[in-house]
């Protein structure tokens, strides 16, 4: 059981900045995210795009903003449970909460702040009938720990940055013993330099590139052993493999949040703008996941919401303590040991 002051569901930009604001009030946070890395939409959808409306930054790449937010939160030593969606929130008899993930990891705190953005990012899966039978037995939809592919034969599929970059990573670092990239078109959607790199590695024999083809079947005894590839002109191709990693992107859905007993409106969590509290006392919702009159789904608005939510959380945890606003210029940052 992981114990903390505030459980933050969602490690996007808003969840990360909320850690900092909570830290100023000496409240510890633990973040849960279904993605393997922090950063939410900024990391997952547009890490290389410049953002122009972050106060004090005329221009900043979304990925750099996340790096900065991680550095800003670091003195307050947040904990992370990554690659696991929060599935249930249970209210305990003493008014505290237990948040349990899909993998059964339990978190305990008096306060929960939901910073779940657009929801859980679900992988787009190829239409292969028995795909589910091999999930976690050789079929993975995202790469959480590249080390598990060391010395293994890997077939990746997809034409975007994720498929290109991971193929390069597995091949260049001599991690996988064999890397095959299958893509249904002859052209790729990813960055031109990544496309060129894959072509170069293919010419060096480090990546087997099979374009105009799709993985249409998978088979194996207790684990994945083989993929069947249908080529547009060459017909059926078979490859023996240890892993099949279709990287076709992720689509967000509210997911488990919809069943937490929270008041929802237009697919978002309704909050009181006084402190961004939900209908359940002790649970707050900040960032893209919430809704109220005149809501704007902007990062800077989420930063404000997180700031007010932790002030209210402090008053709930320490009803007897007076909280006086202290400027960071005066007080500095007193990180946690």
Instruction: List residues binding ligand FAD (CB under 6 A).
Output: 9-15, 32-35, 40-42, 45-46, 51, 53, 85-86, 115-121, 255-257, 287-289, 297-300, 302
Contact 9, 38 (CB under 8 A): no
Of 44 and 242, the one with the shorter C-beta distance to ligand FAD is: 44
Q: Minimum Å distance from CB 62 to ligand FAD?
A: 7
Question: CA–CA distance from 123 to each of 191, 205, 245, 298, 310 (Å)?
Answer: 21, 30, 11, 24, 32
DSSP 113-154: EE--TT-EEEEP----TTGGGGBTTTB-SS-S-GGGGTT-EE
Query: Rounded CA gap, 142 and 140, in Å?
Result: 6
Instruction: Give the nearer residue to ligand FAD in terms of CB position, either 137 or 144.
Output: 144
Supply the angle between the helices 13-24 and 299-317 in degrees, to the nearest 10: 40
In the complex, minimum distance from the CB of residue 100 to ligand FAD, in angstroms, rounded to a whole number: 11
User: Shortest CA distance to 41 belongs to which of 66, 69, 8, 78?
Assistant: 66
Whichever of 138 and 287 has its CB closer to ligand FAD, that residue is 287
CB 139 within 8 A of CB 225: no
Nearer to ligand FAD, 32 or 198 (CB): 32
Q: What backbone phi and psi angles, to 5 degrees, belong to 152?
A: -105, 160
Query: Nearer Cβ to ligand FAD, position 149 or 276?
Result: 276
Least distance CB 104 / ligand FAD (angstroms): 14
CB of 166 to ligand FAD, least distance (A): 19
Coil/strand/helix, residue 178: strand
Nearer to ligand FAD, 23 or 256 (CB): 256
Closest CB to ligand FAD: residue number: 117
Q: How far is the CB of 102 from ligand FAD (least distance, A)?
A: 8
Q: Which stretch of DSSP H or E encloses residue 290? A: strand 290-291
User: What's the min distance (Å) between Cβ of 156 and ligand FAD?
Assistant: 22
């Amino acid at each position: 059981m992981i114990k903390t002051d505030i459980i933050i569901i969602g490690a996007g930009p808003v969840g990360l900045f909320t850690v900092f604001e909570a830290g100023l009030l000496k409240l510890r946070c633990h973040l849960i995210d279904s993605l393997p890395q922090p950063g939410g939409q900024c990391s997952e959808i547009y890490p290389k795009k410049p953002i122009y409306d972050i106060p004090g930054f005329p221009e900043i790449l979304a990925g750099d903003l996340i790096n900065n937010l991680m550095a800003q939160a670091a003195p307050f030593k947040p904990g992370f449970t990554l690659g696991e969606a929060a599935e249930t929130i249970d209210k305990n008899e003493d008014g505290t909460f237990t948040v349990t993930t899909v993998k059964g990891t339990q978190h305990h705190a008096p306060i929960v702040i939901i910073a779940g953005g657009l929801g859980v990012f679900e992988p787009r899966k190829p239409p292969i009938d028995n795909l589910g039978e091999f999930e976690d037995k050789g079929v993975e939809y995202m790469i959480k720990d590249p080390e598990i592919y060391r010395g293994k034969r890997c077939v990746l599929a997809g034409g975007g940055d994720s498929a290109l970059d991971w193929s390069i990573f597995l091949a260049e670092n001599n991690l996988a013993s064999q890397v095959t990239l299958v893509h249904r078109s002859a052209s790729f959607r990813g960055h031109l330099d990544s496309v060129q790199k894959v072509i170069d590695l293919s010419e060096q024999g480090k990546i087997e590139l099979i374009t105009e083809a799709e993985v249409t079947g998978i088979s194996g005894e207790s684990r994945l052993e083989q993929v069947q590839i249908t080529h547009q002109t060459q017909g059926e191709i078979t490859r023996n493999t240890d892993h099949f990693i279709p990287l076709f992107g992720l689509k967000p859905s509210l997911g488990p949040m919809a069943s937490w007993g929270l008041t929802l409106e237009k697919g978002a969590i309704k909050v009181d703008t006084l402190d961004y509290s939900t209908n359940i006392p002790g649970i707050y919702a900040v960032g893209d996941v919430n809704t109220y009159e005149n809501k704007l789904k902007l990062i800077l608005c989420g930063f404000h919401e997180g700031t007010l939510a932790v002030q209210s959380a402090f008053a709930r945890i320490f009803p007897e303590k007076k909280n006086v606003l202290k400027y960071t210029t005066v007080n500095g940052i007193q990180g946690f040991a």
